[in-house]
Amino acid sequence: MAASSSSSSSSNQGFLSKIKSWFDKIVEVLQKILGLGTPTAYVSAVRISSIDIKKADLVYDVLVVNPSRISFPLADISYSVESDGRKLVSGSITDAGTLLPKASTTIKMPVTFVYEDILSTFADIKLGSIIPYELGVQFMVTIPIFGKATISLGKTGEIPIPTVPIITLEMMQFEKFGLDECVTVLHLKIINKNEFEMGLTALEYEIALSGITIGSAELAQSAKIDESGVSLINISLSFKPKDFGTALWELLGKTTVTYSLKGSVTVDTLFGTMNLPFSQEGSASLFKST
């Protein structure tokens, strides 16, 4: 009886082995006919589509190569961005498209870094700093016969956490001084609190003396400001004191005056063009040429 049971078990195993061998041969033949293979992928380009003091929008171009003779859909894409092992941002993309046969397909993957979220989570990350990151991406694809496959890839880079510059009025140097017209040079100091260089290309400002707005302008201005550096620029401004009444004229008769200065600067950086607002109050010297 035992011998009969053993013989039956061996017979079943032999049958299953033949079935598996037969199935493997079918898979092998289909694989050759269809040219089936697992896709490969890598990040071909990274660009910052927009950046300001609140967030940075990055777009990663992921090139996926399909070696098969048939097309199949990308099921899901998930990504995670970490810095020193800490997650900065994560997300997923569904219905990312279809991989064409024997072709390369570029998948555009947008990722947004919200600075407030990062700064509130990690106390050691400060405004003005540059932080290294590592992007991890996983693609889920369904390959006929083979079933689901995961494609993993990574990319390292850096992202800035920009802060606004400090712009102060150091002195007003009058080249012409009179009730009908004043022509003055505003001596401005720009302090860059960021860990990256800025190239100033434009300045928009409004200036008030003791609450009285005397002028505003949008100027094309050029200056290089090193990382954590200082730059001095001069701006010419003309105004008519008689249009503002006796209060302003009395202020201009002093040697110092309180001011408020607000506006924005446009700067070119390693990470792209940024438009940074500023607002500053203080006191400045008044110098009148004799």
pLDDT at site 281: 97
Tell me the C-alpha distance between 56 and 269, whole Å: 13
Q: Are residues 104 and 190 in the same domain?
A: no
Looking at the 3D structure of the chain, how many domains does it have?
A: 2
Q: Are residues 129 and 179 in the same domain?
A: no
Q: Are residues 139 and 198 in the same domain?
A: no
Q: Are residues 200 and 155 in the same domain?
A: no
Boundary (domain end) residue, out of 106, 137, 160: 160
Of 9-18, 33-42, 193-202, minimum mean pLDDT range:
9-18
Q: Are residues 66 and 99 in the same domain?
A: yes
Boundary (domain end) residue, out of 160, 190, 209: 160
Q: Are residues 105 and 152 in the same domain?
A: yes
DSSP string for residues in the chain: -HHHHHHHHHHHHHHHHHHHHHHHHHHHHHHHHHT----EEEEEEEEEEEE-SSEEEEEEEEEEEE-SSS-EEEEEEEEEEEETTEEEEEEEEEEEEEEPTTEEEEEEEEEEEEHHHHHHH-TT--TT-EEEEEEEEEEEEEETTTEEEEEEEEEEEEEE---PPEEEEEEEEEEE--SS-EEEEEEEEEE--SSS-EEEEEEEEEEEETTEEEEEEEEEEEEEE-TT-EEEEEEEEEE-GGGG-HHHHHHHTSSEEEEEEEEEEEEEETTEEEEEEEEEEEEEEEEE--
Q: Are residues 135 and 53 in the same domain?
A: yes
Q: Are residues 193 and 140 in the same domain?
A: no
Confidence of residue 140 (pLDDT cuts 50, 70, 90): confident
Domain-located, residue 32: no
Domain-located, residue 187: yes
Instruction: Select the highest-mean-pLDDT range: 27-36, 95-104, 203-212.
Output: 203-212
Indicate the residue type of 71: S
Q: Are residues 78 and 186 in the same domain?
A: no
Question: Among candidates 267, 276, 279, 278, which has minimal Cα distance to 52?
Answer: 276
Relative to beta strand 55-66, strand 103-114 is: antiparallel
Q: What is the domain extent for residue 139? A: 38-160
What is the radius of gyration, based on Cα positions, of the chain?
Answer: 33
Task: CATH number of the domain at 45, please.
Answer: 2.60.40.1820
Q: Are residues 211 and 155 in the same domain?
A: no
Q: Are residues 130 and 76 in the same domain?
A: yes
Domain-located, residue 224: yes
Boundary (domain end) residue, out of 116, 144, 160: 160
Domain-located, residue 241: yes
Tell me the C-alpha distance between 52 and 37, whole Å: 43
Domain-located, residue 33: no
Tell me the C-alpha distance between 38 and 35, whole Å: 10
pLDDT(146) > 80? no
pLDDT at site 43: 94
Which tops the pLDDT comparison, 79 or 18?
79
Confidence of residue 100 (pLDDT cuts 50, 70, 90): confident
Enter the pTM of the model: 0.78
pLDDT(33) > 90? no
Q: Are residues 48 and 152 in the same domain?
A: yes
Tell me the C-alpha distance between 109 and 88, whole Å: 16
